Amino acid sequence: MAGIFVFSEDPALTRQLLTPGLELKRALAQPLVALTRSSAEAGALAGLGADRVVLLRGAGAPEALAPAVAALASAASVVLVGGTLRGKHLAAHVAATLGAGLSTDARTLRVAEGRLETTRILYGGLAVGEESLALPAVATVPPRTFPAPAPAGAAVPVETLDVAPDARVEVLSTQPAAGEGVDIGAATRLVAVGRGFNARADLDLAVDLAGALQAELACTRGIAEDEHWLPVERYIGISGQTVKPELYVAAGLSGQVQHMVGCREAKVIVAINKDERAPIFEAADFGIVGDLYTVLPLLTAALKD
């Protein structure tokens, strides 16, 4: 059956996908089909403008449902998948099965001349590129790119389908991250740290500055993923968090594009780096060339005065 199919294992993201889905439905005059794994969510989706809601019943990891989703959407014009790690896996499998193009992390989606046109980020954030995809086409959409649609019309009935997951990959155990549940995205001020810090204990300098500024602590990927000095939910960038604070103080971080793409909408960016040629200075409103071990304590003291 032709149609626009949306899927995410994350209920909030499935709802967000309905917004571009409804646009594509209008443009292509085809039904909108929402696939979900959550029975609680299926009812909610039914009242949000989808023409069909299919509850996929079957054990296994979400990406293991890829063959089943591909079979279900075998005649789809467009398949939209929530751009989580698992979603990206599933989407690539579906695209390969359909022999379709796939736009990863599409920020905009529209139909023109019978093709799906998307925009996405390239070169780690240095550029924005447009892609034009033949139908059938698949796209993944990052979380929070679109708001969920408002309730519309009568709720459609929910269909239930038993699906067999790809059982070749056996899940032995799952460990939740030892996160603190902090929402960096909500902070109005951030002090971000990078590899200019020599040791974990030295982050106290940034903690003190954050205290004086009433800011939250953020970091680069290396600090979170390689050093494990701060939890992963605090790292900013293309593969981390996107933030929009009033003030972003970057200390001892170089300002590579993959990091800056996550904070470039900050109102004011301040850089502290000992290397005058560090790219962070081009991305900053104000900067100090100097050793963070000298500058941060002075700055903290000056702000407390």
Partner 1 sequence: MPNILVCYKWVLDEQDIKVRPEDLGLDTSRAKGKISDFDRNAIEAASLLVEAQGGDVEALSFGTQALKLSVKDVLSRGPGRLTWIGDPAAETADAFVVAQVLAAAIRRAGPYDLILCGEGSSDMFFQQTPVRLAALLGLPCVTFVQKMTWADGVLTATRKLPDGTEEVRVAGPAVVSVLGEMNKPRIPSLKQVLGASKKPSRELPLASLGLAPGDLEPRAVRRTPKGFLMNRRNIVYKESDPAENVARLVASLKAEGL
Ligand X SMILES: Cc1cc2nc3c(=O)[nH]c(=O)nc-3n(C[C@H](O)[C@H](O)[C@H](O)COP(=O)(O)OP(=O)(O)OC[C@H]3O[C@@H](n4cnc5c(N)ncnc54)[C@H](O)[C@@H]3O)c2cc1C
Q: Which of residues 211-270 bind partner 1 (CB under 8 A)?
A: 221, 225-226, 238, 246-247, 256-258, 260-261, 264, 268-270
- For ligand X, which residue has the nearest CB? 237
> Would you call 86 helix, strand, or coil by DSSP?
helix
Q: Is 60 in the site for partner 1 (CB under 8 A)?
A: no
Rounded to the nearest 10 degrees, the angle between the axes of helix 39-46 and helix 11-28 is: 40
What amino acid occupies position 35? L
Among partner 1, ligand X, none, residue 113 binds (CB under 5-8 Å by kind): none
Rounded to the nearest 10 degrees, the angle between the axes of helix 292-304 and helix 204-213 is: 30
The residue (of 51 and 285) whose beta carbon lies closer to partner 1 is 285
Token representation of residue 119 = 């925009």
Out of 2, 92, 148, 155, the residue judged to bind partner 1 by CB under 8 A: 92
CA–CA gap between residue 219 and residue 242 (Å, rounded): 12
Query: What is the number of other CB atoms lying within 10 angstroms of the CB of residue 189?
Result: 16
The residue (of 137 and 192) whose beta carbon lies closer to ligand X is 192
Q: Is 130 in the site for partner 1 (CB under 8 A)?
A: yes
Q: CB of 220 within 8 A of CB of 193? A: yes
Among partner 1, ligand X, none, residue 253 binds (CB under 5-8 Å by kind): ligand X
- If you count them, how many residues does the chain have? 305
Least separation in angstroms between CB 194 and partner 1: 15
Query: What is the number of other CB atoms lying within 10 angstroms of the CB of residue 39?
Result: 11
Is 259 flagged in the annotation as binding? yes
Least separation in angstroms between CB 287 and ligand X: 11
- Residue 245: asked if its preceding bond is cis (omega within 30°), the reply is no
The residue (of 194 and 245) whose beta carbon lies closer to ligand X is 194
Binding mask 62-81 vs partner 1 (x if CB under 8 A, - otherwise)?
A: -x--x---------------
| Site residues (CB under 8 A) for partner 1, limited to 12-31 | none
Site residues for ligand X per CB under 6 A? 124, 194-196, 220-223, 235-240, 252-254, 256, 258-259, 262, 273-275, 278, 291-293
Q: What is the DSSP letter of 236?
A: B
Among partner 1, ligand X, none, residue 259 binds (CB under 5-8 Å by kind): ligand X
The residue (of 48 and 219) whose beta carbon lies closer to ligand X is 219
Token representation of residue 43 = 């009812």
Paired residues of 5 in beta bridges: 33, 79
What amino acid occupies position 110? R
Among partner 1, ligand X, none, residue 19 binds (CB under 5-8 Å by kind): none
The residue assigned the tokens 């093709």 is 115
The residue assigned the tokens 């205290």 is 211
Is 220 flagged in the annotation as binding? yes
Is 198 flagged in the annotation as binding? no
Query: In this chain, which stretch among 41-49, 52-60, 155-163, 281-289 interacts with partner 1, using CB under 8 A?
Result: 281-289
Paired residues of 270 in beta bridges: 249, 286
Q: Annotated binding site, which residues? A: 195, 220-221, 252-259, 273
